[in-house]
Amino acid sequence: MREYLDLVQRVLQNGQRKSNRTGVDTISCFAEHYAIDLSKGYPLVTTKRVNFKAVLHEVLWYLSGEDHIRNLRKHTKIWDAWADEAGNLETAYGRYWRRFPSAQVNPATGHYEVKEIDQLGEVLNLLRTNPNSRRMVISAWEPGNALFSKLPPCHYTFAFNVQGDRLNCHLTQRSGDIAIGIPFNIAAYSLLTMAVAQETGFKPGFFSHTIIDAHIYVNHLEGLKVQLQRTPKPLPTLTIARKPLDTLEFEDFELQGYVSDEPIKFEVAV
């Protein structure tokens, strides 16, 4: 996928070396952006093997609204490093997508009461009733949580936008690990966009992505240079069963025609 390789190349050419909380320096750029046309195929990176099963399990976990990884870790360990021994996770994206705590004043008492908002549910309703709305925004950033979370949300807000018969999604990410995280983010949010489009009667449009701190860990440099020497292969297709979004299961997704180069081992910075 050329958009991803172009991102790697820009950061390698223009990035500055920075220290960070992990102790492993990065090569970093500010406010990188790209857009991918989802009508051309499902954008699963082909210049290395990406674990699609883990991507899919992660998205289904987001949709569940769970604030723990006890079910997710049966299928993938990608969140284990940030959860406690019981599997509880301070930063559970799906919790905020489906159950965002909103403090509202009760007129009868004058006191604040917390009401949980299903942000994704509200967006689905707008897509059905007012698709030209410019308010189809979902946030995973809750300031109180971010103060103490071991890893506050990286991909913290996204918005849907309809143009004609196509549904587009724009993701804003405060911090993006280009070697490991970004291929997962591309695959996850593109899958979500395709599923939401099908649910609401639209065709998939563009997945657009802004990364505020787009970075490459210095111990990932050699692996990414290997990727840059590889030629992207044709994108696979993704078929999703025509079922309500909240009833979709792992078996309802079929990836077809995914051909990739060999995996490249990158160490995760915790």
> Are 194 and 238 within 8 A, CB to CB?
yes
Task: Kindly give the pairing relationship between strand 203-217 and strand 166-177.
Answer: parallel
Residue 265: Cβ-neighbour burial (10 angstroms; 0-12, 13-18, 19+): exposed
- Among 29, 44, 154, 169, the active-site one is 154
Residue 254: Cβ-neighbour burial (10 angstroms; 0-12, 13-18, 19+): exposed
Whether 154 is catalytic is yes
Which residues are bridge partners to 240 per DSSP?
Answer: 253
Mark out the alpha helices in 44-156 (DSSP H runs): 52-64, 93-99, 119-129, 143-148
Cβ neighbors of 84 (< 8 A, separation 6 or more) are none
Q: Could you report how far apart the first and last alpha carbons of the chain are, in Å? A: 27
204: left (phi over 0), alpha (psi -120 to 50) or beta: beta
Q: Write out the two tokens for 59.
A: 């998205």
Mark out the alpha helices in the chain (DSSP H runs): 2-14, 52-64, 93-99, 119-129, 143-148, 181-200, 221-228
Residue located via tokens 């857009």: 35
**C-alpha separations of 252 from 38, 62, 238, 240 in Å:** 19, 16, 10, 6
Q: Which residues are catalytic?
A: 154
